Chains A and B, each alone.
Chain A
């Protein structure tokens, strides 16, 4: 590859991988079997110039490569209209160019909800922060958090430097998090996992925490919430949970039979603080609801349909839900999309609602069930955020004003 016989693009991709290996002092490279790339998310003309360079120089992908969210929705151009600005137009061109390069156009930040996801022990390339954390922690696949351009170079060459979380020693839990003072009932609520993730990001950034004391009824939706929140408030590309995640059947196994260097306990007051940090209610009128960060799953749809059954969203309230094309298709087959649209829910695929420019109606006070949305939206959209559980979001949407009934109301 380095000699240029496979073309200039492949040569450049390999030069980039070798440069990274040199910088990281990696002794060798390791083959990967899968990539989920973020370079398809537009943030400037250089993104587009890069993929055009790859296409003009006949680059091909060495491994199955899936796409993260784009800036726009190719399924519904009215969300962020390519005809309205150069930026949106180039965002569309960028997404289409990655399809031409050979990517599978899944356009989702929750690719692990789709069939064909990586398996335990696979070496892969992840770039979207919540997906990196979920792949590492919940599935036990191995990836560092890779940046723009590099993710594509890895997909083209099929290899990455053998460092960090690809190596056994990089995956050892070096910090223990205990939850003894938190009642089981709270650990069974969906919002708890968003708050726990937020705290992990705040207190365990750049460490590998082992969370002790989670309940066995925990779902993949809950683990998704932790993965997303801990990579918004901080950087936790791998966490373990005793008896829950695959590399932590026991505390000793997760810690590789060593003693964790630090032990911290989270209590109810920490959860309350996390909730306050992620948004506080005010007297302003509630304008809308935003769900699906990361993208809504099949099981989340199932719950939402049950909660909204036979009810209507208050007049004037916007209610957005983002999901992947795949899950949208599944929900369509169940009749759920039609049902939810009947209630007034607007369902969006391929992108997310917290990016700028704001989708229609997302202004003022917005309620969300997602810590990640709550963390980013105030800066990106200048909205005021109230965080609630899924059922609190639904009750609020129906009532037309914020309805909080769970334990953390202060």
Chain B
């Protein structure tokens, strides 16, 4: 967090517990087509974070873009262990949530999906170590 040490309180879309380095995506991403679920790499050539990997990050997405193939791509990357440790969204996305729910159920994972506001997301520094709690709060470690 930039200033306050107060935790950010979000809305729980999928409950879970995770910690890791915050990775803030500068633009929306299509997980089906723009992302490789085998190694967790962004493969959309138009994306500013092209070729970066989201693996083990607390992935913060200001604007989500759901497509029908998104749930399967999310579940697949989590199955492969190449996915993020948590998803923090500024706009709730059912496709991301369903993909995570399925992966948590099938593979015994505990990946959270939390919705926060754009204002709250601006308080999270890219690269900072954060923890996402089961109640939807996000704290600096």
Residues of B near A145 (CB, < 8 A) are: 68
Q: Any chain B CB within 8 A of the CB of A375?
A: no
Mark each residue of chain B from 48 to 87: 1 if its CB lies under 8 Å from any CB of chain A, else 0: 0000000000000000001111111101101100000000
A149 in contact with B102 (CB, 8 Å): yes
Most buried by A among B67, B102, B106: B102
Q: Is the interface of A mostly helix, strand, loop or mixed?
A: helix
A45 in contact with B76 (CB, 8 Å): yes
Most buried by A among B13, B68, B75: B68
Q: How far is the CA of A90 from the CA of B97 in the complex (A)?
A: 25
Say which one of A17-25, A256-264, A360-368, A382-390 lies at the interface with B: A17-25
Mark each residue of chain A from 1 to 22: 1 if its CB lies under 8 Å from any CB of chain B, else 0: 0000000000010011001101
User: Chain A interface: which size bin?
Assistant: 20 to 34
B13 in contact with A46 (CB, 8 Å): no
B101 in contact with A147 (CB, 8 Å): no
Q: Any chain A CB within 8 A of the CB of B3?
A: no
Q: How far is the CA of A153 from the CA of B102 in the complex (A)?
A: 11
B102 in contact with A50 (CB, 8 Å): yes
Q: Any chain B CB within 8 A of the CB of A38?
A: yes
Q: Any chain B CB within 8 A of the CB of A127?
A: yes
**Interface residue tally for chain B (C-beta within 8 Å):** 29
30 A-B pairs with CB atoms under 8 Å apart are A16-B98, A16-B101, A19-B13, A19-B14, A20-B94, A22-B13, A23-B93, A23-B97, A24-B94, A43-B32, A43-B69, A43-B72, A43-B73, A45-B76, A46-B72, A46-B75, A46-B76, A46-B78, A46-B79, A46-B103, A46-B106, A47-B76, A147-B67, A147-B69, A147-B98, A148-B68, A148-B69, A148-B72, A150-B94, A150-B95
Chain A's closest residue to B105 (CB) is: A12
A43-B68 contact given A20-B98, A23-B92, A147-B94, CB 8 Å threshold: no
* Distance of A29 from chain B, by nearest CB (Å): 14
Q: How far is the CA of A193 from the CA of B36 in the complex (A)?
A: 34
Q: Any chain A CB within 8 A of the CB of B99?
A: yes
Q: How far is the CA of A115 from the CA of B93 in the complex (A)?
A: 35
* Distance of B27 from chain A, by nearest CB (Å): 17
A50 in contact with B70 (CB, 8 Å): no
A147 in contact with B66 (CB, 8 Å): yes
Residues of B near A39 (CB, < 8 A) are: 72
Q: Any chain B CB within 8 A of the CB of A293?
A: no
Q: Is the interface of B mostly helix, strand, loop or mixed?
A: helix
Q: Any chain B CB within 8 A of the CB of A146?
A: yes
Residues of B near A147 (CB, < 8 A) are: 66-71, 94-95, 98
Q: How far is the CA of A45 from the CA of B105 in the complex (A)?
A: 15
Residues of B near A148 (CB, < 8 A) are: 68-72, 98-99
Chain B's closest residue to A129 (CB) is: B68
Instruction: Give residues 145-159 of A contacting B (CB, 8 Å).
Output: 145-150, 153
Residues of B near A53 (CB, < 8 A) are: 105-106
Name 16 extra pairs, CB < 8 A, besides A43-B73, A148-B99.
A12-B105, A19-B98, A38-B68, A44-B73, A44-B76, A46-B72, A46-B75, A46-B79, A50-B102, A53-B105, A127-B68, A147-B70, A148-B71, A149-B72, A149-B99, A150-B71
Q: How far is the CA of A313 from the CA of B12 in the complex (A)?
A: 60
Q: Any chain A CB within 8 A of the CB of B37?
A: yes
Instruction: Give residues 30-56 of A contacting B (CB, 8 Å).
Output: 38-39, 43-47, 49-50, 53
* Distance of B133 from chain A, by nearest CB (Å): 19
Most buried by B among A15, A19, A23: A23
Mark each residue of chain A from 334 to 348: 1 if its CB lies under 8 Å from any CB of chain B, else 0: 000000000000000
Partner of B72, one of A16, A24, A47, A128: A47
Q: How far is the CA of A22 from the CA of B98 in the complex (A)?
A: 12
Residues of A near B70 (CB, < 8 A) are: 147-148
Chain B's closest residue to A128 (CB) is: B68
